[in-house]
Chain A
Amino acid sequence: LAKTTQPISMDSYEGQEVNITCSHNNIATNDYITWYQQFPSQGPRFIIQGYKTKVTNEVASLFIPADRKSSTLSLPRVSLSDTAVYYCLVGSGGYNKLIFGAGTRLAVHP
């Protein structure tokens, strides 16, 4: 399973765009990249998943360069409610399990 590295914490202000980058140098050919969000005392919530290039949904965008050794989660115009821990995970369905790294603790300030 590919190991991931993310910044431990980030700070932002309401209305700004936040980009969280994750390094996964040992990503395998059949691995997908998935991002989860977790609020205190709640289970993680799926944000977005991608394999290559760019993926966008109603809450975020995921940018994956051609070598797939990193990925960037982009949150447009964050609000206070986006304060949470964001986890980047790498794996494939065949592995059947996800290993969580330390995550990035995002604090959005007024």
Chain B
Amino acid sequence: GAVVSQHPSRVICKSGTSVKIECRSLDFQATTMFWYRQFPKQSLMLMATSNEGSKATYEQGVEKDKFLINHASLTLSTLTVTSAHPEDSSFYICSAKRDMDANEQFFGPGTRLTVL
């Protein structure tokens, strides 16, 4: 159990377009989901915390108008990269927690975004 999926696994888009990435908890309800970004050879950087039914909490330095997060249900969170540019090319990873007191996060397989 505790499987998190992401779709798509990789996407290539033109500069200026928007891209939506989905994160789903397949066999559990996730009250909280997290979005990370990872550049090559670097660690994961937390972008935002997404709570079902409320606005996401963004980490310092992350533009909330550029990275739109929607957590419409207990099993789905989406990250939309608006007006993507080449510098947004990265590996985007989501994770989910099963309940508020859980110490373990379950990570998705990641989405490779390439902006041309």
Contact = CB atoms under 8 A, between A and B. Distances in A.
B103 A97 contact: no
Given A93-B100, A100-B43, A101-B43, A44 B49 contact: no
B101 A93 contact: yes
> For chain A, which range describes its interface: under 10, 10 to 19, 20 to 34, or 35 or more residues?
20 to 34
A96 B46 contact: no
Interface string B98-116: 0011111111111010000
A48 B107 CA distance: 14
> For chain B, which range describes its interface: under 10, 10 to 19, 20 to 34, or 35 or more residues?
20 to 34
Interface in A87-102: 87, 91-94, 96-102
A32 B97 contact: no
Nearest to B9: A41
Given A43-B110, A99-B46, A93 B95 contact: no
Contacts of A92: 103
Nearest to B31: A96
A29 B44 CA distance: 25
Interface string B4-24: 101000000000000000000
A69 interface: no
A43 B32 contact: no
Given A43-B93, A43-B109, A43-B110, A97 B46 contact: yes
Interface of A: 32, 34, 36, 41-46, 49, 87, 91-94, 96-103
Q: Is the interface of A mostly helix, strand, loop or mixed?
A: loop
Interface string B27-64: 00000101010000001111001000000000000000
Contacts, number: 58
Contacts of B6: 43
Given A93-B101, A93-B102, A97-B34, A43 B107 contact: yes
Contacts of A34: 103-104
Contacts of B104: 34, 46, 49
A87 B43 contact: yes
A42 B10 CA distance: 12
A43 B46 CA distance: 13
9 pairs of A and B residues whose beta carbons are closest in the complex: A43-B107, A93-B101, A100-B44, A100-B43, A32-B103, A44-B107, A43-B93, A43-B110, A93-B103
